[in-house]
Amino acid sequence: MNEIIESVKNLSIGFNSQKGKQISILRNVSTNIKKGETVGIVGESGSGKSTLALAMMGYIKQGLFPLKGECIFKSEDLLKMSSRQLEKIRGRKIAMIPQNAGQALTPNLKIGYQIDEALKLHTNLNKTERDKKISELLNKVRLPSPETMAFRYPHELSGGQQQRVAVAMALAGKPDLLLLDEPTTGLDVTTQAHVLELLRFIAKDTGTSMIYVSHDLGAIAQVSDRIVVMYAGEIVLEGPARKILKEPIHPYTYGLLKSIPKLSLAGLPASMPGSQPQPGSINEGCSFYDRCNLATDNCKKNSPDLEHIKELDTNVRCFNYKELINQNNNLQTSITKKSNNSEANEVLKLKDVSISYAKQKFFDQLLNKISDQNPTVKDINIDIKKGETIALVGESGSGKSTILKSIAGLLKTKDGQIKFENDRILSSDLKMRNPNDLRAIQLIFQNPDESLNPNHTVEQILSQPLKLYFNLSGEELKKNIIGLLKKVRLGEFYMSRYPRQLSGGEKQRVAVARAFAAKPDIILCDEVTSALDVSVQAAVLNLLQQLKEDLGTTYVFVSHDLAVVRAISDRVAVLYQGRLCEIGPSQNVYKFPSHPYTEVLLGAVLEPDPDIKPKLVAEDIVEEKPPEKGCSFQGRCPRKIGDICNSEVPPWQIGENGNAIRCHINIKELASLQQ
Amino acid sequence: MLLLILKRIGLGLITLFIVSLITFVGVEVLPGDACTTYLEREAYGAALDACIKRLGLDVPAYERYLDWASNVIRGDFGYSLSGEMPINEVLGPRVKNSLVLASVSILIGIPLAIVLGIITALWRDKLPDIMISTITIFSMTIPEFISATLLILIVAIWLGWLPGIVIIPSDATFYELLSNIILPVVAISMIMTAHMARMVRSSVIQVMASDYVQMAILKGVPYWKMVFRHVLPNALLPAINVVALTIAWLLGGVVVTEVVFNYPGLGRLVIESISNRDLPVVQALAIILASIYVGINLIADLMTLMLNPRLKSLQIRK
């Protein structure tokens, strides 16, 4: 157990800037990986965690080069090896499981070939033995019908299946060390929980050491024995997983854990101010100085060393860590938010809304009608009150973004009506809406990199809605822009900046400001925090809540992240395959009894706590189309009672605590089943 | 799959029908008709009437179109005006000549372009790339009539190694042609190869930066194996359509090059028949060139479909 497999010593990796300055991305990183151990490397984007993981395979991305230090694997330095020598180690001794298996599998080669390639390179088996081994491997990663799976192309599999193939491929060479680079990011919650479960099983079964790189402390908590926390290219905290997650003694880790929304906690997570420094802009002193609330003058001038604390078996890079020891009982707190006035009027009503993506037939096009018996989204009835935050949750393909697009007028509805203010019907065609309605409903998109025009300055971006809806110009326009920036806590000097000069969080603030520029009644938020780092996410959530409390805006908040939804929403609607499963006040939806699908989703959420394990109650099958009749969740339901689920659409039942559930099982019985 | 092929062929035929209509209408609305053009100053009285009668110009236009179209379907393009010989006999040797020029250029140019493209991509920003890229950009920017003229000046006139212009009858044998087409092939290949090499280069670079190539490296796949199995099949797929367009362009007659070298191919025939106002030949050429484009693009599309597993299963599922 204590044999060291790979050790990184004083590794620094960097690049040459355009001014000829050497800029390091990794600074003086040292760590050891022991046999049979799973090490989680966690950090936000830009912390250098992927660069470190790749360097541990002797791979340095183009444009980067090692400045000093070494990566010793079995007494040899990987960074000094020739590519011939590395080919012998990669895949055979150290194997990689990539972040996005969908893109990491070569599209023109069959699954079987790609696994066979690894077997041919790294084993001495003959053709028939290899064929047998391929089905064995596919079976081991629990893919259905492994014999036929080998003849399929990567794109014919679902995301979870592709990730399993990548695992099988990595296991082909029987490596001593597995490197996992965000292996579950981008998968649906239930799939993610299943893949993690598989990885844990494999680690135990084969005794392979693993390095698990992720930004997601929830996933790290489930698999790691030891955790390494990276910040701005340095290790800031390293120790046993339980200690790091329960009693973090570095202020960054502490803040990071506090900024993660948790299922068990109502209210918003606390946010950390600022953002991670860019490589090259780190001066003397501690790199976390600007964001730290324990910082002293000493931290500004001197940068702390990684200090080993024997009694905690932990390495920490902080002068003042002692202040955090035994202070951690308040990790489980959050900012309570003002609940909205439930007496308020309804501002938006969705009545029997159905939306279809089916291609119109020629004659239907002429008659401007859509004939689709089984539309993507069907029978959506939601009344949204003024000033409330309603969240639509579900996995990919649940139709949550589709509904959002229809409210925005970007997608025509097939049936049903969208009513706005005093039951006035909004046209489903954007061109038919009057300018005031267009102003009243604004959208914030998932990825600010794509939703902000890269050739416009912040001033131009914000002036467009102001000019369009309020005809402002000159001094008044400028005053309004500054006011908007202040609202989203950005200074006046941001006006002349371009989006590329802003950090991810700042960009999303600009996008929020642009939506509020129109003084909208309703803001549609489409996964607005999923492209952001955790600490930035918390800040954006707090900002949205603050603006809502000040201005009384209504939010329709779409997200796949149940913990985020828990934090921000007043009411939650759970969707599966474009059909509503459950709707109710959020504190009740997160309490049982709930719809079997909600139960599955809640069970799969990963909490940053090694003691809370996900419950895997349903298979992670991907359904391509909603069922023609019956309950939408019939294909995966763990509580299916029989034919009635296949043939009849379940009725709505209202639970004691006010959440409505669409299920054939009596709600009282559900409650006792879920106890 | 079969249904898809039939569908694409059907679409191609519709395209050809529209092209034939446009050319026919275009010829109709030109002032004067075939007889006035042919007879020139004698186009009056009995001679004109006789000509109109002989060419059947006295029947309504749509009848003439149907008549012409049904003959074309049977492979008969009618008679040319100037030579008064069957158009098929005029076209035959020209088509053959263009085919020879095009296929030699294709056989040399396309493999060369692909190899150069791959070399420049794999040695990106290193000496081989810088040298080849400079040459390709250079030969891309010089218009073909200049490069052709320069070739004649240097190789034929100063050095005297090869004949400057092609002085062979249009019905010359294959071997006679071969010895004469070296300079035209070089002139054509220069531009064609440069364009395609640039395209292949950027395509390979793009694939080399993809996640699956990084994965292959991290899997321990040896470099050249990775290039041949993981990179090239994916990088060359988008090149198929460009290659197809280039082939169609070559078969359709490289007008400028053929004129400069006096090569008796389709391209020069286009120029000649237009300046002679030999309308039946122009009509025939339009149809033939359109068919070449439609046919080759059809083949290219089907090839892309076959080679790209993604598209293939998508189509089958539908």
Give me the pLDDT at residue A606, please: 86
Residue B318 clears pLDDT 50, i.e. is over it: no
Residue in A closest to B220 by C-alpha: A87
Distance CA A591, CA A583 (A): 12
A98/B211 touch (CB, cutoff 8 Å), yes or no: yes
Distance CA A210, CA A224 (A): 9
Alpha helices of A47-188 — where are they, by DSSP H?
A: 49-55, 83-89, 101-104, 111-122, 127-140, 146-149, 159-171
Going by the DSSP 8-state scheme, the letter that residue A303 receives in this structure is P
How does residue B316 score in pLDDT terms, banded at 50, 70 and 90? very low
* CA nearest to B168, candidates B104, B94, B252: B94
Give me the pLDDT at residue B315, please: 47
A155–chain B Cβ distance below 8 A for any pair: yes
Residue of A64, A103, A108 to mutate, interface with B, max B Cβ within 10 Å? A108
Distance CA A615, CA A598 (A): 12
Q: Smallest CA–CA separation between A111 and chain B, in Å?
A: 12
Computed from CA positions of residues A613, A616, A621, A625, in that sequence, does the dihedral angle turn out positive or negative?
A: negative
Domain extents for chain B?
97-317
* CA nearest to B239, candidates B198, B209, B211: B198
Q: Which of B216, B218, B307 is nearest residue A106 as measured by Cβ atoms?
A: B216
Q: Collapsing DSSP states into helix, strand and coil, what is residue A214?
A: strand
Is cis: bond before A375, omega within 30 of 0? no
Token code pair at residue A656: 């004691």
Distance CA A357, CA A623 (A): 16
**Regions of chain A with pLDDT less than 70:** 1, 282-283, 326-332, 338-343, 359-371, 620, 622
Residue in A closest to B212 by C-alpha: A104
Distance CA B257, CA B261 (A): 6
Summarize pLDDT for B219-246 with one digit per residue, the tens: 989 999 999 999 999 998 888 888 888 8
Give me the pLDDT at residue A608, please: 85
- What distance separates the 2 farthest-apart alpha carbons in chain A? 79
Distance CA A145, CA A209 (A): 29
A109/B307 touch (CB, cutoff 8 Å), yes or no: no
Q: Rounded to an integer, what is the distance from CA B190 to the centroid of its chain?
A: 16
Give me the pLDDT at residue B178, please: 73
Please report, as a single letter, which amino acid is at residue A54.
Answer: L
Token code pair at residue A243: 């200690």
Please report, as a single letter, which amino acid is at residue A392.
Answer: L
Q: Which strand ranges, in their side-by-side order, compose the sheet holding A346-355?
A: A377-385, A346-355, A415-420, A424-426
Residue B100 clears pLDDT 50, i.e. is over it: yes
The answer to whether the CB of A352 falls within 8 A of the CB of A416 is yes
Residue B39 clears pLDDT 80, i.e. is over it: no
Q: Which of residues 161-220 of A touch B (CB under 8 A)?
A: 166, 169, 173
**Which of 3.40.50.10480, 1.10.3720.10, 3.10.129.10, 1.10.357.10 is the CATH number of B97-317?**
1.10.3720.10
Distance CA A368, CA A353 (A): 17
* CA nearest to A593, candidates A509, A519, A672: A672
Q: Collapsing DSSP states into helix, strand and coil, what is residue A369?
A: coil
Residue in B closest to A61 by C-alpha: B214
Distance CA A51, CA B6 (A): 52
Give me the pLDDT at residue B7, please: 85
Q: Which residues of A383-410 are buried (b: 16+ CB within 10 A; e: fewer)?
A: ebbbbbbbbbbbbebbbbbbbbebbbbe
Give me the pLDDT at residue A519, please: 92
Residue in A closest to B308 by C-alpha: A108
Distance CA A631, CA A661 (A): 12
Give me the pLDDT at residue B260, please: 85
* CA nearest to B180, candidates B261, B250, B253, B272: B261
The answer to whether the CB of A51 falls within 8 A of the CB of A59 is no
% of residues, chain B, pLDDT over 70: 90
Token code pair at residue B41: 């100053």
Residue in B closest to A90 by C-alpha: B220
Predicted ipTM of the assembly: 0.79
A88/B220 touch (CB, cutoff 8 Å), yes or no: yes
Neighbour tally for A15: CB within 10 Å? 17
Q: Rounded to an integer, what is the distance from CA A158 to the centroid of its chain?
A: 18
Domain annotation for chain A: domains and CATH numbers: 4-93+175-331 (3.40.50.300), 338-569 (3.40.50.300), 576-675 (no CATH)
Alpha helices of A471-612 — where are they, by DSSP H?
A: 474-487, 504-517, 534-551, 562-568, 586-589, 596-604
B313/A91 touch (CB, cutoff 8 Å), yes or no: no
Q: Which of residues 96-115 of A touch B (CB under 8 A)?
A: 96, 98-100, 103-109
Q: Smallest CA–CA separation between B196 and chain A, in Å?
A: 22
